[in-house]
Amino acid sequence: MALSNSQYAKIMRDYEEKQNAARLLHDERLNEIIKKIPEYKILDDEAIEASMAYARSALLASKEENCVDTTDELREKIGLIARQKALLLEKYGYPGDYLKPVYTCPDCRDTGYIGSEKCHCFKQAIVDLLYSQSNIKEVLKKENFRNFSMDLFSRNDIDPVSNLSSYDLMAESYKKAKEFVRKFPHSHENLFFSGKAGLGKTFLSHCIADELLKRGFTVLYLSAPELFDILRKETLSKKDGDDQSTESGRYVISCDLLIIDDLGSETTTEFTVSELNTCINERLLGGHSTIISSNLDPSQIRDYYGERNFSRIAGLYTFCRFYGTDLRLLKKYNAL
């Protein structure tokens, strides 16, 4: 599923709307300031005049050496006026940068591009569009580190495998998740969340996704059936004569963080075993992190997905074990 012309146009329209909103906010603030601080308009006009003179001088400087000094003087003048404007705003109780444009993405200034390269926000917009990730963003408003609570986990419910309580296991997993975020992307770490349904695996992966999205990384969140459906379509596309990787396939392999939720819920076949191996291997080679959550324990991973997949996961993923009472049922019980 490649990005179509209409999909590309939609993303660019979204950027245009963001730019218009930024311009509208700036104009509203400027009109407010001019009414309250008339002398600001004088400085603003001086800055515009100096900027125009600087542009003319810069063009002449490439042809006439004696214009270089003038250009430097004008640059200093523009800087001085900018400082005077900031001080004037602060004098009247405004932040010095009150009239700087407010962009959704300061890196590309809501254009979608940094030079000729797609900005990280553009890449995430593609991910959102291709995989309908807008739903996950709504979930992240509730499921994030700010709303995480250890109160639901028991200190008395002891896991027979680790001999730790569900509280201690979650505290350990929480610490690993925070460390994962702190070191991302330099550590190239991978996580494997293992445990029965309803123990907080998905919630904790949502917490990580929320933090990294806020930092501008591309995050792709897929259930295991969704992942293998995309990879199946990718394979069929290539069999039909398209040798180029599709947009979907590229982002499965190249996004900053891939989260595969509920591995083992799909129908396991030779295809899924092979494609999981390829996906894990290519992301490892590219230095891209992956989080896998599953109801399966490590021994079952070997049974379901073979020795090669088990070896890579066991050797190159940090395991987080989840144990306890189904939190969804517990929340319903507590609400009664």
Helix (H) or strand (E) holding 31: helix 5-36
CATH of the domain spanning 119-335: 3.40.50.300
Answer whether 247's CB lies under 8 Å from 126's CB.
Answer: yes
* Two tokens, residue 169: 């296991």
- Confidence at residue 1, expressed as pLDDT on a 0 to 100 scale: 41
- Confidence at residue 75, expressed as pLDDT on a 0 to 100 scale: 84
- Segment 97-140, tens digit of pLDDT: 899 889 999 999 999 999 999 898 998 888 777 666 556 777 88
What's the pTM value of the predicted model, to 2 decimals? 0.70
- Confidence at residue 243, expressed as pLDDT on a 0 to 100 scale: 47
- Confidence at residue 133, expressed as pLDDT on a 0 to 100 scale: 58
- Confidence at residue 335, expressed as pLDDT on a 0 to 100 scale: 45
- Confidence at residue 141, expressed as pLDDT on a 0 to 100 scale: 87
Residue for token pair 């509920």? 262
What are the backbone dihedrals phi and psi of residue 155, each rounded to the nearest 5 degrees, phi first? -85, -10
- Residues (pLDDT < 50) of the chain are 1, 243-244, 332-333, 335-336
Return the number of other C-beta atoms located less than 10 Å from residue 322's C-beta.
23
- Confidence at residue 206, expressed as pLDDT on a 0 to 100 scale: 95
- Segment 298-314, tens digit of pLDDT: 789 999 999 999 999 99
Non-local CB neighbours of 318 within 8 Å, separated by 6+ positions: 176, 180, 189, 190, 191, 192
Domain ranges of the chain: 5-114, 119-335
